[in-house]
């Protein structure tokens, strides 16, 4: 159950917290939604993040730099010393959770609240370990945060679109969060119909919205652990 303050800012009567967006900071839905439903959503996300932290710890323990294990090769074509997981040389499976003030600063720079999954992820797990070269550090996220993030992401579900190679900015409605390499990035859609989903942005392929952020991250964890167990590089 939600009630507005005199100034119009919604306040959850269960948690007593002001909020903006779809749910309050404790996961309760506004707009007349069932309170218990919001709690279920919140604790489902929390359980998934707890599971992510456990699997990250396993990766950190299992994937240590070893001779000839890196994805990178030397001038003779031999695998260099390093991690099995691609990109781990950069983040080393370490994470830096963001403080509440940092999350707020990101949202103020964007002019829109972060999608709830990613917002909770940043507070609980943070920047660092993740797909490809990892979740970009806070300073990079803040540099990429801009008012255009609050404008709707401009493509529909069944669109096939290509980036304008002459454009100096990313599309509206998204925040770059991961560097794929070779000029390609993974962005989080922050506004519009696909809010909360990720999208690969690059010049040499068609770009379409992908899964929600937690599914994207979960897939990376599963594939990284499977790669270690099989001993084969993906």
CATH homologous superfamily for the domain 2-230: SMI1/KNR4-like (3.40.1580.10)
d(CA 218, CA 224) in angstroms, rounded, equals 10
d(CA 37, CA 25) in angstroms, rounded, equals 14
Predicted confidence at residue 111, as pLDDT, reads 95
Residue 119, C-beta contacts closer than 8 angstroms, at least 6 positions apart: 103, 113
Give percent of the chain with pLDDT exceeding 70: 65
Q: What are phi and psi of 209, to 5 degrees?
A: -60, 140
Predicted confidence at residue 12, as pLDDT, reads 46
Predicted confidence at residue 173, as pLDDT, reads 93
127 near 96, Cβ under 8 Å?
A: yes
**Mean pLDDT of all residues in 155-160:** 66
Predicted confidence at residue 79, as pLDDT, reads 53
69-103, pLDDT tens digit by residue? Answer: 545 444 555 554 578 888 888 899 999 999 999 99
Element of type H or E holding 220:
helix 213-230
d(CA 49, CA 33) in angstroms, rounded, equals 24
Per-domain residue ranges of the chain:
2-230
The pLDDT confidence band at residue 64, using thresholds 50, 70 and 90, is confident
Q: Characterise 53 by phi-psi region: left (phi > 0), alpha (psi -120 to 50), beta (else).
A: alpha
**Mean pLDDT of all residues in 48-52:** 93
Is the pLDDT at 66 greater than 80? The verdict is no
d(CA 164, CA 204) in angstroms, rounded, equals 11
63 near 225, Cβ under 8 Å?
A: no
Average pLDDT across the chain, whole number: 77
12-34, pLDDT tens digit by residue? Answer: 444 444 444 444 444 443 333 33
Lowest mean pLDDT among 33-37, 153-157, 176-180, 190-194: 33-37
The pLDDT confidence band at residue 169, using thresholds 50, 70 and 90, is low
Predicted confidence at residue 163, as pLDDT, reads 60
Choose between 75 and 194: higher pLDDT.
194
The pLDDT confidence band at residue 157, using thresholds 50, 70 and 90, is low
CA atoms within 13 A on the CB side of 103: 21
115-150, pLDDT tens digit by residue? Answer: 999 999 999 999 999 999 999 999 999 999 999 999
């Amino acid at each position: 159950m939600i009630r507005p303050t005199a100034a119009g800012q919604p306040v959850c009567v269960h948690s007593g917290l002001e909020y903006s967006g779809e749910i309050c900071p404790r996961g309760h839905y506004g707009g007349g939604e069932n309170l218990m439903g919001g709690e279920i959503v919140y604790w489902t996300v929390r359980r998934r993040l707890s599971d992510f932290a456990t699997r990250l710890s396993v990766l950190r323990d299992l994937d240590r730099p070893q001779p000839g294990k890196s994805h990178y090769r030397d001038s003779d074509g031999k695998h260099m010393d390093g991690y099995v997981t691609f990109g781990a040389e950069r983040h080393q499976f370490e994470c830096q959770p963001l403080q509440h003030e940092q999350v707020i600063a990101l949202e103020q720079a964007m002019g829109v609240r972060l999608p709830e999954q990613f917002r909770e992820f940043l507070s609980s797990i943070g920047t660092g370990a993740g797909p490809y070269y990892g979740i970009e550090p806070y300073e990079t996220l803040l540099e990429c945060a801009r008012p255009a993030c609050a404008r709707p992401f401009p493509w529909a579900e069944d669109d096939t679109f290509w980036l304008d190679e002459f454009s100096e900015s990313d599309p509206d409605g998204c925040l770059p969060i991961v560097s794929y390499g070779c000029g390609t990035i993974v962005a989080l859609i922050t506004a519009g119909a696909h809010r909360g989903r990720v999208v690969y942005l690059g010049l040499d392929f068609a770009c379409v919205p992908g899964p929600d952020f937690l599914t994207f991250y979960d897939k990376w964890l599963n594939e990284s652990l499977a790669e270690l167990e099989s001993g084969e590089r993906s």
